[in-house]
Structure 1
Amino acid sequence: MNRQAGGWGFLTNHARVLLAIARDPATRIRDVAASCHITERTAQSIVCDLERAGYVSRGRIGRRTQYALRLDGKLRHPAEAHLPVSDLIALFTGRDREDPSGQKRAAP
């Protein structure tokens, strides 16, 4: 892995996977792994973590997996626990806040 000086970064792999899914809810684990520079096994494990924590749900459409995000979930670290996941997604994807049905909603 090619890391920046000091060996650390601002986003965790969990955040990167969540953002990859937010950008393309029909993405494949293979593509998530490639875009996050992690293995497919790690990507799958992270998706399972996110699903267990209630940030992501998945269903099947034909042979493909479709992901849905729970945008009202809160960030996990105590310093950011008051912020909804939708704020992180909006910041990194450039999208306005939307509810899970795709309808835009007003910021609080």
Structure 2
Amino acid sequence: MDYGAEAGRQWTFLTNHARVLVQIARDPGIRVRDIADRCLLTERAVQRIITDLEQAGYLSHERRGRTNHYSVTIAKQLRHPADAGPTVAELLNALVHRPADGPQDAAPTAVDSPPQ
């Protein structure tokens, strides 16, 4: 897997936790299998990440029939002290793909900021 990095020094800008959170923000009813495919992870790794995000309060889920429906806690602050200040909503607004036919400055409904 060469993502444009020099040989022996592979890194990426986003963590797997961020990738999983973005997929869930895009589609709150997404299956673990689909998250794994899109993030190039195993299903087990995605399950562990979802558990981490839920335990930290960034994510919750409810069963709807045979599937899970996820909710992202968008008002929560980012976890690392060096990232203090921005909320999950601000991060997701920067990362979640906006449809080409929609307004470019409108945030997706899944990550809208709460009313103030």
TM-score, L = length of structure 1: 0.86
Aligned to 1:9: 12
Given the alignment of the two structures, is residue 41 of structure 1 paired with residue 44 of structure 2, yes or no? Answer: yes
Aligned to 2:55: 52
Identity, % of aligned positions? 45
What is the Cα-based RMSD across aligned positions, in Å?
Answer: 1.7
Alignment partners' CA distance in 1, 2:77 and 2:83: 8
| SS of residue matched to 1:65 | strand
**Rg larger for:** 2
Name the count of aligned residue pairs: 102
Given the alignment of the two structures, is residue 88 of structure 1 paired with residue 91 of structure 2, yes or no? Answer: yes
* Structure 2: runs of 5+ lacking an equivalent: 99-105
Aligned to 2:68: 65
- 1:2, distance to aligned residue in structure 2 (A): 4.2
Moved over 6 A (4+): none
TM-score, L = length of structure 2: 0.81
Q: Which amino acid aligns with 2:19?
A: R
Q: Which amino acid aligns with 2:38?
A: S
Higher relative contact order (CA 8 A, sep 6+): 2
